[in-house]
A and B are shown apart, each in its own frame.
Chain A
Amino acid sequence: MLILFLSLINFTFAQNLTGEINIEERYFFEPGGYQNSNQLAHVIRIKPQYAKSWDNDRKSVDFKPYLLVSEPDQDKTHFDIREASYLANYDTWEIRVGVSKVFWGVSESQHIVDVINQTDLVENIDGEQKLGQPMIIPTLITSVGNFSAFILPYFRERTFAGLEGRLRPSVVIKTDDPIYINTNKAAHVDYAFRWSHSLNNWDLGLSYFKGTDREPFFTFDGTNFIPNYGQAEQLSLDTQYLWNDFIFKLELLSKNRPSYKGQYTALTTGLEYTLNDKLSLIYEYLYDDRSDLTTSILGWNNHSFVAFRLSMNDTASTEFLGGFYIENSDGDVNLFRLEGSRRLSDNFKAELQTNILIDANDNTILVQARQDSYAQMSLSYFW
């Protein structure tokens, strides 16, 4: 009886235990200019997951440890808890507790409004990958939208490439001992509020955040750049409207950084047009009114993003996503990105990606990464 019971537990446990192992080979077309001449970079990612929901999926737990091992840039090697969260719904309200990830926004080219989680920059310069963030989020669900409060008791520092790593400025960013402007350092409790609502064809989100700035500024200690984390306050709007085959999108941000050059405004706006079930086209306009872009990753300030998404709709789910970031003032292409993926079998999936950095914007942290264009191939095994 006990054995039966134990094997039953084991069975349900095993069912909820899944994961992915990923191997990535990245090839840089040129050697780097600053003691980072390696053209090949190897990465292994291990991503197990335990996830379970019960009570008609009104309660759930999610646990996702994450390990990245990198060669030759060993500074890129890191362990993270992407998720360790409990999520529960009680009809008109909901609570999320633990380490988790929150996404705000509607656009594709950049995510200026999405502030809760720190960017895991060594993963990819597209800023899509995020570090797990400890949080408590109570949400009130009403007929006029969701009202959420975010209590963020601990701060995560941004990851940067090391000495032997590529996609970095000529001076190495030393992450060991960052400077915090606030005396509570990483223990400063940040908070945010958000109202979001869907009205038929219209989605709206209004957010406020106050706390440690996710985007550091840099000071020079004679050898390295040192990340400085100040305090920031921001107000943002993200909205989209569906009209026939078009989705119109807008993200608007006003941010104040008292310890670094004060207030600035940024926006992303554009549209996505779905031609048919396979192909959609994206245009986005990216604006930022800062004259000093040294804290911005790619520094889009007056740029256009022109992209396509192609889904072959085959059983292998073959997909392509390609986009150009174009400087509006002179029409120059600054960055071209192409991604493709295809399932090889029930357990294997292959992905291709290339980032061609032609001319990053002046004063950005990646302006000196002109020689760091690359193509990469990765293979994932799922269990």
Chain B
Amino acid sequence: MLKHIFFLSLVSSLYAATEPAQRGLEIARQVEAKDNGWGDQQVQAKMILRSPNEKEVVRVIRTKSLEVTGDGDKALIVFDQPLDVKGTVFLTYAHKQNEDEQWLYLPALNRVKRISASNRSGPFMGSEFAYEDVGSQEVEQFTYQYLRDEKFDNTDCFVVERYPTQSSSGYKRQIVWVDKANTRLQKIEYYDLKDKLLKTLVFKKYQLYAGKFWRSLLWEMTNHQTQKSTNIEWDTFKLKVGLNANDFDQNALKRVK
């Protein structure tokens, strides 16, 4: 009898452990499934970098992305401003299992440079966004834990914790708020490798494209450890412009002007 009780409690504790993990993964899959089929997109953006004691700094970028079925997405970021880095292009192939692949095109040397994955945790153009924050985020790049239901900004949300699987990540964990009605990311809290709260990203101004795809037009990132912040103001997204894999290979980096 005692043996049975022990067995039951073991099973239930195992169940309790796997159930939030399963639920967290399901929510992440729903977020991805809802956005399936966007194909390709193109958008311009302005980044505004703020620091307590310094003047505001503005960056202008353009991005192109390609949805890849069966693996991670491909993305290309063109730097337009500041002018000394104009024409620099950053290319990423996100992967579900392996580390992402990254290249940087340096226009002054006409050179495409391969970049090791370790730079993913570094700041993107000196902003509060890391390269890994602006890149494509695949379901498989994290393990999950459902935490609770909670209201954020008067919206009913699922709160899910996720742990990066790629060793190049600069985070121990992230906590994600996903709204129940439209399964869109509302907020992400980033914890550094020492598990201290580092940054908070809030997604604002959601807009619906092609009746199906939600895009947040304002990303507000605050660094709690340095008090610096960066906003990304996205311009109008252009979906399904007809991009294909050739627009995302190393040759393409030399053509983007």
Contact = CB atoms under 8 A, between A and B. Distances in A.
A242 B116 contact: yes
A97 interface: no
A200 B114 contact: no
A246 B118 CA distance: 9
A58 to B, nearest CB: 7
Nearest to B250: A198
Interface in B87-125: 87, 98, 101, 109-112, 114, 116-119, 121-123
Nearest to A96: B254
Interface string A349-375: 100000000000000000000000000
A277 B252 contact: no
Central interface residue in A106, A242, A275, A280, by most chain B CB within 10 Å: A242
B257 interface: yes
A53 to B, nearest CB: 4
B93 to A, nearest CB: 9
B241 interface: yes
B82 interface: yes
Given A53-B256, A57-B256, A315 B110 contact: no
B91 to A, nearest CB: 11
Contacts of B111: 103
Interface stretch (B27-35, B49-57, B134-142, B217-225): B49-57
Contacts of B112: 103
A316 interface: yes
Contact of A349 (B57, B84, B254): B84
A56 B78 CA distance: 13
A91 B118 contact: no
A150 B175 CA distance: 53
Interface string A93-115: 01000001111001000000000
Interface in B219-257: 241-244, 246-247, 249-252, 254-257
B85 to A, nearest CB: 7
Central interface residue in A20, A56, A201, A311, by most chain B CB within 10 Å: A56
Given A56-B243, A60-B257, A315 B114 contact: no
B82 A346 contact: yes
Given A60-B257, A317-B85, A103 B116 contact: no
A62 B121 CA distance: 34
Contacts of B243: 56
Nearest to B49: A315
Given A56-B241, A277-B123, A315-B57, A51 B257 contact: yes
A274 interface: yes
Nearest to B113: A106
B81 interface: yes
B122 A313 contact: yes
Contacts of B122: 276-278, 311, 313
Contacts, number: 117
A59 interface: yes
Interface in A272-327: 272, 274-278, 280, 311, 313-317
B118 A276 contact: yes
B208 interface: no
B42 to A, nearest CB: 8
Contacts of A87: 254-255
Nearest to A59: B255
B114 A343 contact: no
Given A89-B252, A277-B119, A56 B114 contact: no
A71 B246 CA distance: 47
A231 interface: no
Contacts of B110: 100-103
Interface residues on A, range: 35 or more
Contacts of A246: 116
B170 interface: yes
Interface string A244-278: 11110000000000000000000000001011111
A139 B84 contact: no
Interface in A62-111: 62, 87, 89, 91-92, 94, 100-103, 106
Given A102-B110, A141-B249, A316-B126, A51 B87 contact: yes
A245 B247 contact: no
B204 interface: no
B118 A277 contact: yes
Nearest to A249: B114
A280 B115 CA distance: 11
A60 to B, nearest CB: 5
B2 interface: no
Interface string B156-186: 0000000000010010000000000000000
A334 interface: no
A158 interface: no
A201 B117 CA distance: 11
A-B pairs with lowest CB-CB distance, top 9:
A277-B122, A382-B83, A53-B257, A315-B126, A51-B257, A274-B118, A103-B111, A101-B110, A57-B256
Given A16-B257, A201-B101, A275-B118, 16 more contacts: A18-B83, A53-B255, A57-B247, A89-B252, A91-B244, A92-B246, A100-B110, A101-B109, A200-B98, A203-B114, A277-B118, A314-B126, A315-B51, A315-B54, A315-B57, A383-B83
5 contacts: A20-B84, A89-B255, A103-B111, A146-B251, A274-B119
